[in-house]
Structure 1
Amino acid sequence: MLNFKKMKYSKYLSLFFLILSLQSCSDFLEQEPGTQTSVDELLQNKTGVLQALTGLYTEVEANVRPERYAVYADLQGGNLKFGPTATGGLKGQISPSANVEQLYSFDDVALSSNFKTFYDTNYDIINQANLILEYTPALKDATDAEKNQIKAEALTIRAYAHFLLSLVYCQDYKYTADASHLGIIYNTESIKSGIQYPARKTLAETYNLIINDLKTAVENYSDNSLLPGPAYSFFNRKNTKALLARVYLQKGDWINAYEMANDVITNSGAALMNKETLVSEWEKPDLPVSEILLEFSIPKDTEGNVSSSMAQTFGYTSDINFQKYTVSNDLINLYESSDLRKELFLTKSLYTIIGGVQTYRDYNFTKKFQNNAGYVAFRLSEMYLIRAEAAFETNRADLAIADINIIRARANASLLTNTANLKENIFLERRKELCFEGFLFFDIARNHKDVSRNDGCIATVCSLTYPSLKYVLPIPTYNTNLNPNLQQNDSY
């Protein structure tokens, strides 16, 4: 069973859930017939399947964009710190957000895990993707090309959800020499087939399944999505290849990482933002940056107004209206004075209470996620950095330097002229270029680095020495209790 909740399978699925994705998996399966639509009725035609696929994208966006996952890699790695409370009785005081307080100190608790919703939602997403995959082949009102397109998007979403789970709940791929350590449960059937209690795969097996899903998806894509809306909001062949490049990078499969990133750079039709528009591209409201490969559409109300966005986590509106997450000097100090990316920080002097003393201190907010900012899932700059790292790891330092310098030249930073400390420079360039896009902590882990958080760290534990059992989060107790074969991560 996907998220291991005790539930019986009913032939009725909530149409409301499939379209809007607002209820838990157990809720809609346990409802009685009435206003619900049976799964057989809903998914018997192309219109119903596309409605379900639309709902699936809605839930994916709602899982990665909110605070917990959106800040996780940058908060744990040291790019973010907490600013003062904006208003109320605690105005000026600095404290962790309740949504991440346990994990921030590397002390998440299985019984009350900060990430329980993230864990459950990913398996709900996987279940829905599997339902779509199971019903699509029998559609009588869809062409083979249309069915293949639906299959490709559902497979990619299934792989993406499993990959996200592996990042959070599994040690890095090279934690053991053959990746024989714990991966995740990989579900390829919906709970419609009955309750199951599978065990976790090894991480090697997990990655093989992710890669197989993505390669199969690439083979089935057509040129256009069947869903209404901007093309950048849906998985397609080019951004699925971008996901494959990221998976290969995380695995340390350098040859395939290079080839896949190079394919996206060469054939996607996307172009890097240029130096002249780098800052303004990030500052514009409503639309993503021009080099976007995938940004899930943000939710809007019935009048077309944005109901939630990344600004709810990173936003600054005024000195009495701002969010808790600010940029650490650990990151700010990495940029050269000439680097245009320093202009992507909004500096504000805010009322702060430190040790009972009232004062004003400067805080930096990222301009990447103001106004109606969406979740940046993939953009072209990442592909250049993947290609650079893969080139370095395959003894092609000249190619690595060339790609790094493309990114640095755009930012008006000094160019690399030799291979000294090239591996570290690649790591730091990723930290600077991809900050707040969900990479740092996972980059630290896969490079077997230590965590060192200095500026503004108010956690009980501010550093970790690799290897550590705390580089992963606990599987929520609710889930391990319900599945006797679900092994908990060590130390939890």
Structure 2
Amino acid sequence: MKKKVYIYAWALSAGLFLATGCDSKLDVKPTQSIDENAALSTSKDVEVTLIGCYDGLQDIDVYGGAFQFASELLGNDGELGFGGTFQNMLEMYNKEITTANATALSTWRDSYVTINRCNNVLSALDIVDEDKRARIEGEARFIRGSLYFDLVRLYAKAWGDGDNGSNPGVPLVLKPTRGVTDADKIPRNSVAEVYTQVLADLTAAKSLLPETNTNYANKYAASAQLSRVYLMQSNFALARDEANTVIESGEFSLVPEFGSLFFTFLNNGGSNPDEYIFSMIVTQQDGVNEMNTFFGTTITSIPGTAGRGDIRVLPKHRALYETGDARGAFFVSTNNTFTQKHLDKFGNVLQFRLAEMYLTRAETNFRLGTVIGAAPLADLNMIRTRAGLKAATAVTLASIQKERHLELAFEGHALHDAKRNKQSVGALAFNSPKLILPIPQREIDVNKQLVQNEGYN
């Protein structure tokens, strides 16, 4: 019989392992638990645990690909085909998901493991060297806030779909779990409560993080994520302002050629292009790009390409591009057609890039009738002309949303853009229960306070 493991038990073991895994002491007796003071007793222990937070975030079932491909498969409206054999992904593609879906389970579990690592870091800030404390708190809160945002977007009703204050979101666990009792088996917080916590974490992260932080989260990564959160809430003014903050920072720039954005290992030695705000770093030694696994394929003429070739691009999508659009040519065809965005086996897994911020600023300025940073038409044309198209002479909400759809295709936006704009996905309304992942049945079996989402038995 397989042993059932509660999410917080997983979080406990993983979080404490990372906090102590580099300990050179060899005389520690085997035990099923470790004293908190021994696990997190020095600033270095906390720093190691923070690296564990990034390791968890990089997991293939978290920001290493699952959050992104789940959005693309669930939000697909006849523009993608699926030819793979994994049942979990076929269920999402067909919008016929079961409570035993492997992605729904692994993404939930591994996200909470990572959240618990963040909670361990945040619980021990008083022992962190003073000159590092603000940055470490900011990074942990950025990761925790980001994960709660993406969890509530996938496992709960969208913001504005009914009563945010009563719709069940996901459980908010804000303290380390170092032993599971009935008190740890908590119900789902409301969607509104989860968003409140997300905004608290990300706002704090923005104030604490430095402007530059090598490959780790910085102030502008927090602003980019805040922009997404506010856009999901239709808080257009704040979404605009956060996007504008990133653009006006001068830390990032649109690369001249669209095609140079995505081969970070093959063409850029593993370095991010200037347009990237934040990504999951993948190397030959560590990390897996799960978007490559499923969207990518091996092209013999391009050494270093790989992938199963499970997710294919259909004619309905390709027909959306204007003649001369470089993005419309960024595909490769064998027996099927694939996007070139995810061909690089060791390519970094993109989370935010500057083009998204321009498109967010264009949309929100247009909706509000404002010209913060630049006029909507100017921002729209920044994206169009980079793609090799003529500058538009007029702008509408529909034209901005079309550019967003084409520019950010296959990067994890499909489902969430459909929901926030209340657009149907095929025959399904934006608020169909079929577009929400189930709470994993294993979690409900061990925590009777968790209620299942509508439409699942």
TM bin, normalised by shorter chain, reads 0.7 to 0.9
Superimposed CA distance per residue, residues 327-374 of structure 1 (whole angstroms, 9 cap, x where no aligned partner): 2222211111111112321122x2xxxxxxxxxxx4233244424211
> What amino acid is the match of 1:477?
Q
The 5 Å alignment of 1:123-134 reads: 123-134=112-123
Structure 2 counterpart of 1:81: 80
Structure 2 counterpart of 1:102: 91
Matched, 1:207 2:195: yes
SS across alignment from 2:171 = coil
Gaps of 5+ in 2: 23-27, 301-305
Residue 182 of structure 1: CA displacement?
2.2
Structure 1: distance between partners of 2:230 and 2:340: 29
The 5 Å alignment of 1:357-376 reads: 362-376=336-350
Structure 1: distance between partners of 2:297 and 2:47: 37
Structure 1: distance between partners of 2:453 and 2:21: 33
CA contact (8 A) 2:284 2:346 kept: no
Give the TM-score normalised by the residue count of structure 2: 0.85
Structure 1 counterpart of 2:25: none
Matched, 1:72 2:73: no
Structure 2 counterpart of 1:278: 258
> What amino acid is the match of 2:69?
V
Judged with a 3 Å threshold, the aligned counterparts in structure 2 of structure 1 residues 346 and 399 are, in CA distance, closer, same or farther, namely same
The 5 Å alignment of 1:236-275 reads: 236-274=218-256
Matched, 1:298 2:262: no
Residue 37 of structure 1: CA displacement?
6.2
CA contact (8 A) 1:389 1:423 kept: yes
Superimposed CA distance per residue, residues 375-415 of structure 1 (whole angstroms, 9 cap, x where no aligned partner): 10111111111111111221238822221121111112243
Superimposed CA distance per residue, residues 30-52 of structure 1 (whole angstroms, 9 cap, x where no aligned partner): x9835986542232112111111
Comparing 471-480 with 171-180, greater Cα deviation is found at: 171-180
Structure 2 counterpart of 1:47: 44
CA contact (8 A) 1:14 1:37 kept: no
Matched, 1:413 2:389: yes
CA contact (8 A) 1:74 1:80 kept: no
Structure 1 counterpart of 2:375: 399
> What amino acid is the match of 1:293?
I
Superimposed CA distance per residue, residues 456-486 of structure 1 (whole angstroms, 9 cap, x where no aligned partner): xxxxxxx313331212111011112222221
Residue 15 of structure 1: CA displacement?
5.5
Structure 1: distance between partners of 2:91 and 2:29: 38
> What amino acid is the match of 2:361?
R
Superimposed CA distance per residue, residues 41-88 of structure 1 (whole angstroms, 9 cap, x where no aligned partner): 2321121111111121011011335554332222222276346xxxxx
CA contact (8 A) 1:309 1:374 kept: no
Give the TM-score normalised by the residue count of structure 1: 0.80
SS across alignment from 2:97 = coil
CA contact (8 A) 2:252 2:275 kept: yes
CA contact (8 A) 2:296 2:338 kept: no
Q: Please, which of 434, 451, 455 is the counterpart of residue 487 of structure 1?
A: 451
CA contact (8 A) 1:97 1:324 kept: no
Judged with a 3 Å threshold, the aligned counterparts in structure 2 of structure 1 residues 401 and 321 are, in CA distance, closer, same or farther, namely closer
Superimposed CA distance per residue, residues 299-329 of structure 1 (whole angstroms, 9 cap, x where no aligned partner): 543xxx8765643222222479752122222
Structure 2: distance between partners of 1:403 and 1:426: 9
> What amino acid is the match of 2:383?
I
> What amino acid is the match of 2:122?
L
> What amino acid is the match of 1:240?
A
CA contact (8 A) 1:170 1:472 kept: yes
Judged with a 3 Å threshold, the aligned counterparts in structure 2 of structure 1 residues 105 and 44 are, in CA distance, closer, same or farther, namely same
Matched, 1:135 2:124: yes
> What amino acid is the match of 2:333?
T
Q: Please, which of 265, 284, 295 is the counterpart of residue 314 of structure 1?
A: 295
Structure 1: distance between partners of 2:338 and 2:384: 22
CA contact (8 A) 2:289 2:345 kept: no
Judged with a 3 Å threshold, the aligned counterparts in structure 2 of structure 1 residues 309 and 6 are, in CA distance, closer, same or farther, namely closer
Judged with a 3 Å threshold, the aligned counterparts in structure 2 of structure 1 residues 346 and 112 are, in CA distance, closer, same or farther, namely closer
Structure 2: distance between partners of 1:252 and 1:182: 20
